[in-house]
Amino acid sequence: MLDLIIKNGNLVTKDITKKCDIGIIDGKITQIGENLREDAKEVIDASGEYVIPGVIDPHVHIHHPFKGKYSADDFYTATRAAAFGGTTTFLDFAIQWDKELSLKESLEKRISQSEGEAIIDFGFHVCPTKSEPEIIGELGHIIDMGAPSFKMYMTYSKQGRMSDDGMLLYGLDAVGKKGGILGVHAENDSISLFREKLSIESGNLEATDFPIAKDNIVEAEAVNRVSYINKYVNGNLYIFHLSTKEGLDILAREKGTGNRITAETCIHYLCLDDSYYGKENGHRYICSPPLRSKEDQDALWDGINKGLITTISTDHCGFPTELKDSGNGKYNATPNGLPSIGMLLPLVYTHGVCRGRISINKMVELISTNAAKTFGMYSQKGDIQVGYDADIVIFNPDREIEMKADMMPTDVDWSPYEGMVLKAFPTYTISRGQVIMEKGNVIGDRGRGKYLKRKII
């Protein structure tokens, strides 16, 4: 007897699109086939709908600090929105905000904040904030603990978050040798700081000045430098939120040279552009890197199709309008980040698949399979295969919804995508065989999400 059977759906994985049924027992996929005849406790008829692996968002910031306050979500409210939009796994960050804590303690603290809260499964990239040899010694132990991915900031020295080049060199070396992956927030710190001084002197601190202050060289120089360092030590490098055509040119140059680099872009670089800074409340779109030109956006879609970018994330960071407006619109006093957890599937489907930019199979690869492979979850998640977790999303390709911030079950009171007409908001989100969202109602229990121990293979 099956616990759940999903019948008559169009199964889409990175390789196939095929009408079939899926049987589930104890949270795992046990059968995939045409016209399965098994009895089941629960039946979902997915006729006319697509059935895809649960979305994996490899880059979110939940309850993120800014000047002593926090973004407007906690692990419960953020993951309700994730489930609403079909995301069944997320990776957030264990940032060493308290420099007195070891990396292990920082990770344990973040795990304890999220356990008992999240509705979906999750893990953390560990993020050192000190450029000290003692930290390098810790990286291998963290990988052994089941957290094989890291992030280092190449900017934000003023906030005490930056890793210097020595730290990048030794970090990439150590993590690469131990079978982990080290990601970077690639922005040149000194150019950013110099430009900020110029903006302050000239009084050019409006939202429209922000993409000029952090123009493409800020990212490209950092991508170039860290790529060189990575090649030198044979590291395993991940570029978070790549946003520029120049950054892509560097990746194209490195491809095929043996330099192990994987890159992500974010949904906002694919669906929004720098003209948003000139709109009413344009400062609310401040995020780092900034939204870019249409030319960069076209280059990113091209980079996806050339296999230079293999994952798409949200970089969700949901500051409410009150905090977004707290700097009176000045770019250097506005908290960075856009609220968008749960939006990967509707946005990539509408802007990518429906506009003919990518196939639906490529979409599955970009928003699920590749993140599972890159971050050590592929034996369990990111695909629909017998033995895998039954993390499954069902959506009707014809249904359209006009995006409204209050539709998302979070505490964030605005959306950068307000008013966009989007397809692929799911009918069902299933996590380890349990329906956690049905027809717009999130019904997954608070705290059912599990912390995932990961291993990159």
Q: Which residues contact ligand URP (rule: CB under 6 A)?
A: 61, 64, 287-288, 315, 317, 336-337
- Separation between Cα atoms, residue 256 and residue 245, nearest integer Å: 19
- Nearest approach, Cβ of residue 296 and ligand URP (Å): 16
- Nearest approach, Cβ of residue 289 and ligand URP (Å): 8
Which of the listed partners (ligand URP, Zn ion, none) does 152 bind, with a CB threshold of 5 to 8 Å by partner kind? none
Which of the listed partners (Zn ion, ligand URP, none) does 337 bind, with a CB threshold of 5 to 8 Å by partner kind? ligand URP
Shorter beta-carbon distance to ligand URP: residue 286 or 394: 286
* Angle at which helices 165-177 and 216-233 cross, to 10°: 50
Shorter beta-carbon distance to ligand URP: residue 80 or 161: 161
- Nearest approach, Cβ of residue 318 and Zn ion (Å): 12
The answer to whether 64 and 434 are in contact (CB under 8 A) is no
Shorter beta-carbon distance to ligand URP: residue 265 or 288: 288
The answer to whether 101 and 69 are in contact (CB under 8 A) is no
Q: Does 21 bind Zn ion (CB under 5 A)?
A: no
Determine if the peptide bond prior to 289 is cis (ω within 30°): yes
- Residue nearest ligand URP by beta-carbon distance: 336
Nearest to 185 by CA among 330, 287, 275: 287
The answer to whether 410 and 73 are in contact (CB under 8 A) is yes
Shorter beta-carbon distance to ligand URP: residue 235 or 337: 337
The answer to whether 145 and 107 are in contact (CB under 8 A) is yes
Shorter beta-carbon distance to Zn ion: residue 215 or 315: 315
The one segment of 144-152, 172-180, 195-203, 312-320 that binds Zn ion by CB under 5 A: 312-320
- Separation between Cα atoms, residue 382 and residue 52, nearest integer Å: 9
Query: How many other C-beta atoms are found inside a 10 Å radius of the C-beta of residue 203?
Result: 9
Shorter beta-carbon distance to Zn ion: residue 254 or 315: 315
Q: How far is CA 149 from CA 36, 394, 455, 456, in A?
A: 39, 30, 9, 9
- Separation between Cα atoms, residue 427 and residue 450, nearest integer Å: 23
Out of 121, 219, 274, 315, name the contact with Zn ion by CB under 5 A. Answer: 315
Shorter beta-carbon distance to ligand URP: residue 336 or 429: 336
The one segment of 38-46, 167-175, 309-317, 425-433 that binds Zn ion by CB under 5 A: 309-317
- Nearest approach, Cβ of residue 179 and ligand URP (Å): 26
Which of the listed partners (ligand URP, Zn ion, none) does 288 bind, with a CB threshold of 5 to 8 Å by partner kind? ligand URP
- Nearest approach, Cβ of residue 81 and ligand URP (Å): 17
The answer to whether 118 and 452 are in contact (CB under 8 A) is no
- Separation between Cα atoms, residue 397 and residue 118, nearest integer Å: 28
- Nearest approach, Cβ of residue 74 and ligand URP (Å): 16
The answer to whether 170 and 197 are in contact (CB under 8 A) is no
Which of the listed partners (Zn ion, ligand URP, none) does 24 bind, with a CB threshold of 5 to 8 Å by partner kind? none
Q: Does 264 bind Zn ion (CB under 5 A)?
A: no
- Nearest approach, Cβ of residue 288 and ligand URP (Å): 4
Which sign, positive or negative, has the C-alpha torsion 215, 221, 224, 230?
A: negative
Query: What residue ranges bind Zn ion (CB under 5 A)?
Result: 315
